[in-house]
Amino acid sequence: MRIETPGDLTAQWLTDALGGEQVTAFSTERIGTGQMSECYRVALSYDGGTGPASVVLKVAAADPTSRQTGLAMGLYEREVRFYTDIAPRLSGPIAHCYHAGFDPETGVFDLLLDDAAPARQGDEIHGATIDQAMLAVTELGRVQGPLLGDSELAGAPWLNQGAPVSQELITALYAGFLDRYGDAMTAEQREVCRRWVDSFDAFMATETAGHRPMGLVHGDYRLDNMLFGEAGAERPLTIVDWQTVTWGPAMTDLAYFLGCALPTETRRAHFYELVDAYHGALGADCPLHPVDVREGVRRGSFMGVTMTIIASMVVERTERGDRMFLTMLERNCAQVLDTDALAVLA
């Protein structure tokens, strides 16, 4: 049975997917604001037994253009394959998946996941507390540690589809970014962005040449994709939106998180503490030294600049979005300068 919308759900399908007590009734409500996919909380009732009070259904966007974009970019396949092929090997901040389906011809997919509630979503503009940041980097290390240098994942076609972004594309997007936000940018921020855009293709070629530590990369490891569990939650942290998961330079997520999630002065004050916590969470058998991690963060600091430029130009413009992208610009450019990342560019 294909689940394309919440209207396709039946009590029997939910019973079979959950593999437990008979579901007798359910209701759905839209949650989140995703553009490429849609999420619904499904409240459940049972015939005298017990089971989860609710689960989360994720399906492809109803909008045909958004769905075609998600299919063409491989976003739907990646997320489904993450939950079916990789997540069972891992512990940590990952929701349990009860059911996953994907049609490569139409882009129709479904994921039935455990509900992270009660939880509080992170706020990119406000920034993380030190406790939240420590939890986020530690859990990231727990996810990435067992998979560092994994030869099977390194050769998986669905996880290695090539970067959809080129220097030509980011140059065009940056022109739009300058037109919109240029008056709010400092001279230093303009210089960071210009140097990065001009060096994009050459730098990316060196990063994928095979001599950097490689691993699983979430691709959008930021506060808006983090649910911090409250009393009664299954986990202290749940990471969502694995549609951009890929195989790449292992420290990319850590660099992106540090550059985006923390006010600049807070990051400066706790940088080494957070990097060391991440390194420790990679595990006792990790072949990387803390110096390797810091160098990976240095080189990965441009990820935040890239995402700031791209995301601001491809999503619907809002007042909150403007504030968020300018905040991301300030924090990520500061990290580039603090780590002397410009020195690694051609």
Residues 311 and 172 in one domain: yes
Clarify whether residues 14 and 53 are in a common domain. yes
Kindly state whether residue 42 falls inside one of the protein's structural domains.
Answer: yes
CA dist., res. 107 & res. 74, Å (int): 9
User: Are 67 and 12 in the same domain?
Assistant: yes
63 and 172 fall within a common domain: no
Q: Is residue 79 part of a domain?
A: yes
Identify which of 203, 217, 205 has the alpha carbon closest to the alpha carbon of residue 160. 217
pLDDT tens per residue across all 346 residues of the chain: 899 999 999 999 999 999 999 999 999 999 987 778 999 999 999 988 889 999 999 999 998 988 998 998 899 999 999 999 999 999 899 999 999 999 999 999 999 999 999 999 999 999 999 999 999 999 999 999 999 999 999 999 999 987 778 999 999 999 999 999 999 999 999 999 999 999 999 999 888 776 789 999 999 999 999 999 999 999 999 999 999 999 999 999 999 999 999 999 999 999 999 999 999 999 999 999 999 999 999 999 999 999 999 999 988 889 999 999 999 999 999 999 999 999 999 7
Q: What's the pLDDT at 210?
A: 66
Structural domain including 215 reads 119-344
Same domain, 90 and 208: no
Q: What is the pLDDT of residue 22?
A: 96
Residue at a domain's end among 80, 114, 148: 114
Are 196 and 94 in the same domain? no
Asked, for residue 1, whether it belongs to a domain, the answer is: no
Check whether residue 173 and residue 319 sit in a common domain.
yes
Residue 259's contacts (CB-CB under 8 Å, 6 or more residues apart) are 267, 301, 303, 304, 328, 331, 332, 335, 336
Q: What is the DSSP letter of 94?
A: -
CATH number, domain with residue 136: 3.90.1200
Give the residue among 74, 97, 222 at the shortest CA–CA distance from 159: 74
Looking at the fold, whether 64 and 152 belong to one and the same domain comes out as no
For residues 51 and 88, state if they share a domain: yes
Let me know whether 179 and 268 are in one domain. yes
Measured distance CA(124)–CA(116) in Å, rounded? 19
206, 247: one domain? yes
Which CATH number characterizes residue 102's domain?
A: 3.30.200.20
Alpha carbon of 16 to those of 12, 41, 45, 99, 294: distances in Å?
A: 6, 18, 14, 9, 47
The residue from 114, 141, 162 where one domain ends is: 114
Give me the number of domains the chain comprises.
2
> Is the residue at 28 inside a domain?
yes
- Within a domain: 214: yes
Any domain includes 331: yes
- Domain end: 67, 95, 114, which one? 114
Residue 213 lies in a domain: yes
Q: Looking at the domain assignment, is residue 188 inside a domain? A: yes
Q: Please, are residues 41 and 56 in contact by the beta-carbon 8 Å criterion?
A: yes
Asked whether residue 255 falls in the same domain as residue 180, the answer is: yes
